[in-house]
Chains A and B, each alone.
Chain A
């Protein structure tokens, strides 16, 4: 497995569902209708108490998020970070972002993986495999009996025995 180095820190307390991350990403990568590199998910509104509501939006990278490798290679932030209207997306090294988690609650640190199936690569047989067990050179000899039941051997459920195997 590749080590993960970079991620996104999301202050979801202030995600307003503006959609700028979603559309920016599609424009940057030319993803068609029906595909996204980042998508908005929500929970709410539902009422907690008389005067309190749960309603959060979560921009979550999909398997098409490459953290804008073409941009980040040049030292720029991913396009969703650049355009986020509420400025709640931050890009950086995981260890640096992790330190910011203590700054406030309602944050999410997420490390996307781009097309993980592709990243795994094609299946290749292991080489230099040590066979841990080889079949023993013994021969089994049957006694001609067979039982046809899923019950335990010692259960008394009547006897159905196989006919003796034909010689």
Chain B
């Protein structure tokens, strides 16, 4: 990267910003007795890497007094969501853990048995256990359980350069989060992702002369407003709508956005691929596609046309449960709009048929000529991708890669993301096959609350098999409480340096930098922890790398430079930069490593007939498969479990399982909510706010009923990732982690052929009212967590 890659971004003030403001201020400045540090946060607290602009106000005593959105950020423009607004309450929360702790193995699950220790003691214990376990069982016996959204979640050097194990594993069945979409994008286009172009990288944003406002934006299984998914600033969508963009919403629920949409396709959960094939069929058979783009830049169009002809809209309408006219209307509206964007969401991943869902979406974006077009889909250039993914892999893991769990059965999955296949990992934990797992570490993962399906199975297997477990976090959580012997504290965004590339780097528009504003406790950032642990556990390996300190490692790892930290210090002062972008890169040789025109696929074109899918033994063309459980596949089960269960819609109060101990955020959303249609509630005698038991053949949980036509009469929606930090942390309660946990109802081992995709959003269930009231006591939450320390 040349130095001007990271140029200071130009601020675009919002019309509501007063004339007294902080535009043009330095990365650090004084204001009314405060030292203000501008920063772009990324984890912890966990979030997708947007790196929203933040101003941290620190008083003369070094205490963070105030957090405000930074109006110098070109995309967020001073706006912030509640989670960063309440950052102070996270940093100084009385439940935060600020020093290392140990506990005897036999005391796992006992919340009061932790003992404070020094870092030296912590490192000594870890080193001793590591050396013993590696000598006895090999490095492959170490599992790294990684989560989502935290920097630690994707901190691959924990696996490669610290522990040297190939068995880092994102613990969600079928990696049903983001990576299936990445895989579909890579297999079909050779580019790592195709995000809707929100002008995020253009200096004049919406008014930039290169930009064209999207006429139509399709939201496919995505609610970008609450979660800033994948690092995309969700409210960009509102910015575009207020400028005139119109919306097509594909979602089983009536959402606020669907009420603002021209067309809402309220499909049965899990049937998306059928809908996509039908839309492709309409666009192809009516000649609405971009004929030049298809002629010059696509491969396998005729085969695709033939395949989607098997799914006329009439058939899809029946499968999806939507009016056939709406499918025609949506296909025509999208295809005729120039340009048109399409935001594809988590729902794409969370079905066994998810890869095919991704395939039809990319195909729609391609044949309508919207790939790499302003206001269409923004494509990353050659060389994009997770910048940390392969870092130190050969040196740190090398030939041991062959012992990655699942690599023989699921090479597409394992090689794509350098991760052990999640379902195979559970099998290995439970059976010791292909080899025993003896040591583990949680990196940004509270798997028993959030990322793991059938969480009690994971809980039991981990506790039984692990000789030694390490938890790394800012707070205690149920997974660490249940299973760990060492706790290592993490710094928050206010206490650390670092970088944040939107979309984790596979599709970046802004690069942000984190600056340390305060000191709290004894924690490290994840990158510092990698250095500290790595240099102790594998001194020879790290000696070869030759980093004098953690900052030199960070500079090389994130920015590819070795200037003893001077480069990082210089560049980071821009705080936020828009990365240089271009459009129609396939015409200019900017998508391929060889610099030739075209796409980075074997044929050099967008592969509507995919060589990669074919090579991995999957159908090269998209096909529809019914969810494995549902009215079509298992009619015999529908009497017992008459509803389709969909899960996991977000709220702005929390990032997955985080933030439950932040009183102001919990107050926004105190209880786990299950949405029930009014007719169903009437039939089952359920009243608003009553607690209900949600159950199916895999498990059950209790949640609080919200009666609303948000869902239709066939569908139930339940929230995910609930636990209750105000409750007893001892086994078996574990902060109530299994009581309201919707993942109890979601199985493992139902992934797609390539190992990707799992049915988190399309199962079946029944519900019944329960007499007991489990309402959160906000007085208790306020008493326990409201008084900052």
Contact = CB atoms under 8 A, between A and B. Distances in A.
Given A14-B242, A16-B235, A45-B256, 16 more contacts: A18-B82, A18-B226, A19-B653, A23-B82, A27-B89, A33-B778, A33-B781, A34-B667, A34-B778, A44-B259, A46-B709, A76-B18, A76-B21, A81-B16, A82-B79, A89-B16
A84 B67 CA distance: 14
Interface in B69-89: 69, 71, 77-82, 85-86, 88-89
A45 B782 CA distance: 31
Contacts, number: 125
A70 to B, nearest CB: 11
A79 interface: yes
Contacts of A116: none
Nearest to A50: B323
Nearest to A14: B238
Interface stretch (A51-59, A120-128, A130-138, A149-157): A51-59
Nearest to A28: B66
A131 B88 CA distance: 59
A166 interface: no
A57 B88 contact: no
- Specify the main secondary structure of chain A where it touches its partner: mixed
B690 interface: no
Contacts of A32: 782, 786
Given A23-B668, A33-B778, A51-B264, A86 B256 contact: no
Counting chain A CB atoms within 10 Å of each CB, which of B20, B82, B652, B663 scores highest?
A: B82
Given A20-B81, A27-B85, A47-B709, A33 B18 contact: no
Interface string A8-27: 00000010111110111011
B206 to A, nearest CB: 13
Contact of A27 (B86, B264, B710, B782): B86
Contact of B241 (A14, A17, A79, A82): A14
Contacts of B786: 32-33
Contacts of B68: 79, 82-83
Interface of B: 14-21, 66-69, 71, 77-82, 85-86, 88-89, 225-226, 234-235, 238-239, 241-242, 254, 256, 258-259, 264, 652-653, 663-665, 667-668, 708-710, 778-779, 781-782, 786
A85 B238 contact: yes
Given A22-B82, A27-B664, A32-B786, A77 B17 contact: yes
Closest 9 CB pairs of A and B: A75-B20, A23-B82, A53-B259, A33-B782, A85-B235, A55-B259, A86-B238, A19-B82, A77-B18
A46 B264 CA distance: 15
Given A27-B85, A57-B256, A85 B17 contact: no
B21 A85 contact: no
Nearest to A83: B80
A74 interface: yes
Nearest to B262: A51
Contacts of A57: 256
A33 B710 contact: no
Counting chain B CB atoms within 10 Å of each CB, which of A53, A75, A89 scores highest?
A: A53
A75 B652 contact: no
A33 B779 CA distance: 8
Contacts of A89: 16
Contacts of A51: 264
Interface string A82-114: 111111011100000000000000000000000
Interface in A29-79: 32-34, 44-47, 51, 53-55, 57, 74-77, 79
Nearest to B663: A33
Contacts of A26: 664
Nearest to A79: B68
A90 to B, nearest CB: 5
Contact of A18 (B16, B89, B225, B781): B225
